[in-house]
């Protein structure tokens, strides 16, 4: 598999993750981004043995977009700290189904609970044990009779957060077979209308502000000029 690398230095590697490939998988024989990247780094310096690769954030398997990985423990610690402090700007494009009462822009704040089975999260009361605060901003960029293109600013990083919160707000994402009722019965794999298209970090070593942006490749985004 050819890697779509946006930036690489001694501390970080930034690339575009394709849809359908998981970041990390426990399934035997399944290709994931970690194994692909480790193989790539090993081929660059085979004499050094197994390379270090730090995961500092994740994308769901059906979601495409920009990802940042750390190549050293120092970089992993610095980037993880930025994410924990909310200092990493993460923006997504989402294609959602319209509803009659939707706002052009809004802030969504909920408490999410990750279920112990089924790789699933749901909105829960703040008082429910294990629930965590989730917050995002969205604004409408384009719309037609059925669908809207949203820009989503992710303010917290919870399991399936954007998918769960938009579905709860009656703005389910196109193609989401887990949280969109109208797509749950589909048998074939679908690339959902969600793309991590822009991210801004501070370089862990140089402290330089770095911005990365891509265009979504999912078929549904063509309806909006991509």
Give the pLDDT confidence of 120-165 residue by residue, as tens digits: 999 999 999 999 999 999 999 999 999 999 999 999 999 999 999 9
Q: Is 77 exposed, middle or buried (0-12, 13-18, 19+ CB in 10 A)?
A: middle
Q: Domains in the chain and their CATH numbers?
A: 4-224 (3.30.2350.10)
Please identify which of the residues 2, 9, 60, 106 carries the catalytic annotation: 60
89 flagged as catalytic: no
| pTM value surpassing 0.85 | yes
């Amino acid at each position: 598999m050819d890697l779509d690398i946006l930036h690489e230095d001694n501390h970080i590697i930034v690339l575009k993750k394709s849809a359908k490939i998981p970041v990390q998988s426990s399934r035997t024989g399944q290709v994931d981004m970690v194994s692909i990247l480790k193989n790539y780094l090993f081929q660059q310096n085979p004499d050094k043995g197994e390379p270090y690769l730090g995961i500092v954030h994740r994308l769901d398997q059906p979601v495409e977009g920009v990802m940042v990985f750390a190549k050293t423990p120092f970089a992993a610690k610095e980037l993880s700290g930025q994410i924990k402090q909310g200092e990493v700007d993460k923006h997504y494009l989402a294609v959602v189904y319209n509803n009659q009462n939707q706002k052009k822009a809004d802030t969504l704040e909920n408490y999410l609970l990750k279920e112990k089975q089924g790789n699933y999260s749901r909105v829960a009361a703040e008082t429910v044990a294990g629930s965590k605060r989730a917050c995002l901003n969205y604004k409408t960029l384009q719309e037609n009779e059925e669908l809207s293109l949203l820009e989503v600013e992710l303010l917290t990083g919870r399991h399936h957060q954007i998918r769960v919160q938009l579905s709860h707000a009656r703005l389910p994402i196109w193609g989401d077979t887990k949280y969109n009722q109208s797509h749950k019965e589909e048998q074939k794999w679908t690339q959902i209308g969600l793309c991590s298209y822009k991210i801004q970090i501070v370089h862990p070593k140089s402290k330089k502000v770095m911005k990365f942006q891509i265009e979504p490749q999912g078929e549904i985004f063509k309806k909006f000029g991509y």
